[in-house]
Structure 1
């Protein structure tokens, strides 16, 4: 009996994960409206499991269930974008201060080297698709390290959700990640690292806030 009770939850978790994988791999276009049957077929899951997963996905803002009209996949607007970055600025301002308390000079040197390597690749004419992949790995790892340094499960969970929302924003055609934008991002991270190397937590927090403000403008196409 216990196994039977757990099965729908496990199946809904599979549906939930497959939806996110399909969304971020662009198999599901943002802003599209699909039927429950079409989505279940795409994800290769049972409709019951999908219905359970959709409840959480709707709560997290990835889709909207339209009565008798299907399922609308989220398409972030400017208001949502601003809300996401406002939340990130609040979370990461605190995170960088906690990071300053725990990070070693050796770790900072490693982070500096990783960022400078991306800048060298950008200046060296690395194929843009490869450059975007490499830079995204460094960017996400850096922000994740900051978040995890808080050692606060609630803040870490909120940050993960915000990063997913930013990921959806980046699926939109309006968000174009260029070599110039990558260099700017890495240089802004280096400004944070420079303040941390100088044991200036306030300066690091200010540099992070400036970075996220500029990142929001880049996401808006400004």
Structure 2
């Protein structure tokens, strides 16, 4: 093995399917490690008035707290093992070429501290109303799987919808405005199999020396 790992990032609004595509790429690439933005972000811990103030000040992405994320991305890119902060255990690159790491992210290259490690950025261009519908179904699907979870999920859903118009939707609009232009590949809403079929040739083109080793 030689040279740094190739980092493939998938970005899109919540509900766009970025996690599903990242996991599909992981399976297709023989278990490539996944670094998850959600395991590091702390902005969802902010009270609503702090988020509102951040939006009023132009939503500076450099202020989004992501403790440890840049450090872990840099280490993994060098071939070092890092803690899997989303699922537990350890993230490490496979022994075989091509050495690829996956990054499930909301901010793509728009966040300077972590975007510098991205070699290929895929943006899932899903309309916000479709993404919202998918997000809501994630709440209802969980409640249907476990009826005992219904009341807490209803409370969480009410809180999510209560923040959506004034805080969340403006944030997602800013995300699209700033992250999408930096993407190497923009994919419209489509079934997962179609997204994967479009992403793999882009990956092969982006790293031609390893193209023969990327499964189709």
Q: What TM-score results when the alignment is normalised by the length of structure 1?
A: 0.26
Higher helix share: 1
Name the one with the larger strand percent. 2
TM-score (norm 2): 0.27
Higher CA-based Rg: 1
Ranked by relative contact order (alpha carbons within 8 Å, sequence separation 6 or more), the top structure is 2
